[in-house]
Amino acid sequence: MSALASIHDLTVTYRRDGNAVAALRNISLDIVAGERLAVIGESGSGKSTLALAIAGLLPASSAVDGRIEWPGPGQPPLLGRDIGFVFQDPSVSLDPVMTVGKQIAEVARTHLGLTWSQAYAKAKTLLERVRLPDPDSALHAFPHQLSGGQKQRVAIAAAIAAGPKLLIADEATSALDTIVQAEIVALIRRLVAEDGMTLLFISHDIALATELAERIAVFRHGQLVELGTTARIVGAPAQAYTRTLLDAHIGLDAAPLLNRSGLHA
């Protein structure tokens, strides 16, 4: 098991109203090549900051300590070419005045050196791969003409257009309803398997993480609480906080909160 990325003692500090706020504190972990790793946590846990740090997308005003190493051969990874990033809200990440086809083709043209016509052909293939209905007309559609789930499929197509090694999905299904969420999770799972990508799946939803990931990293207040296989995190959590998150999940088999007999007394 070789590491795609090795994170050593990573600390990220944001400046807010003149105060320094540590978003990540002394994080060390390896992302194994080819694995599906979920990073879970609540608001302010630092999970999105970790994703941004790995992608090289931290704001210029942030202070970074520690290092992220990429042990594999070749240059340090380039966002868009070697790392694909899918954000929570495709309405924001897609350009509203550019056709869907052009947004995907632009990635392929920039990073793969294709001509525009080759890039458009690639875009059409990608729209088929993400199972967008009627890819021919979708190429010429604008984002606002698509549903939320369809837009997220387009954002995924653009993210994988250059054949990245690492796909980062930051709350990529959180704004979608459960049925569409399940479809997008299945799509990500299939694409990652077909292309042999490594997946970093950032989520607040521990149950969703267990459905997709082989390993789970639990974050809280900017620190790594624990990291382990999905089976171990769910079956034998080492930390009380992980147990709290597991217990807080209200599944379809949860005991009713409602005392029914008392209601109509």
Partner 1 sequence: MSLLTVSNLTKRYRRGGKVVTAVDDVSFHIEPGETLALAGPSGSGKSTIAGLVLRLIEPDAGRIEFEGDDFLALRGAKLRARRARLQMVFQDPLAAFNPRATVARVLDDPLRIHGIASRAERPRRIAALLERVGLAADLAPRAIHEISGGQRQRVAIARAIATGPSLIVLDEAVSALDVSVRGQILDLLLDLQSQERIAYLFISHDLGVVRALARRVILLDAGRIAESGDARAVIDAPQSAIGRALVAAAPRLKRTTQDAS
Taking residues 108 to 137 in sequence order and writing x for each that binds partner 1 by CB under 8 A, - otherwise, the string is: ------------------------------
What is the identity of the amino acid at 117?
S
Rounded Cα distance between 188 and 173, Å, is: 10
Rounded Cα distance between 208 and 185, Å, is: 9
**Number of residues located near partner 1, criterion CB under 8 A:** 48
Please, which residue, 97 or 263, has the CB nearer to partner 1? 263
Q: Which of 208, 217, 218, 225 binds partner 1 (CB under 8 A)?
A: 208
Q: Give every CB contact of residue 133 below 8 A, 6+ residues apart in sequence.
A: 150
Q: Which of 28, 235, 239, 243 binds partner 1 (CB under 8 A)?
A: 235
CA pseudo-torsion sign 219, 220, 224, 227: negative
CB 158 within 8 A of CB 99: no
Residue 193 engages partner 1 in binding (rule: CB under 8 A) = yes
Rounded Cα distance between 265 and 168, Å, is: 52
Please, which residue, 140 or 144, has the CB nearer to partner 1? 144
Rounded Cα distance between 28 and 9, Å, is: 5
- Shortest Cβ 96–partner 1 spacing (Å): 16
Please, which residue, 8 or 190, has the CB nearer to partner 1? 190
Cα–Cα nearest to 209, from 244, 170, 238? 170
Q: Residue 168: beta bridge partners?
A: 85, 200
- Shortest Cβ 49–partner 1 spacing (Å): 17
- Shortest Cβ 230–partner 1 spacing (Å): 5
Q: Which residues bind partner 1 (CB under 8 A)?
A: 36, 42-43, 148, 176-183, 189-190, 192-193, 204-208, 210-211, 213-214, 229-231, 234-235, 244-246, 248-252, 254-260, 262-264
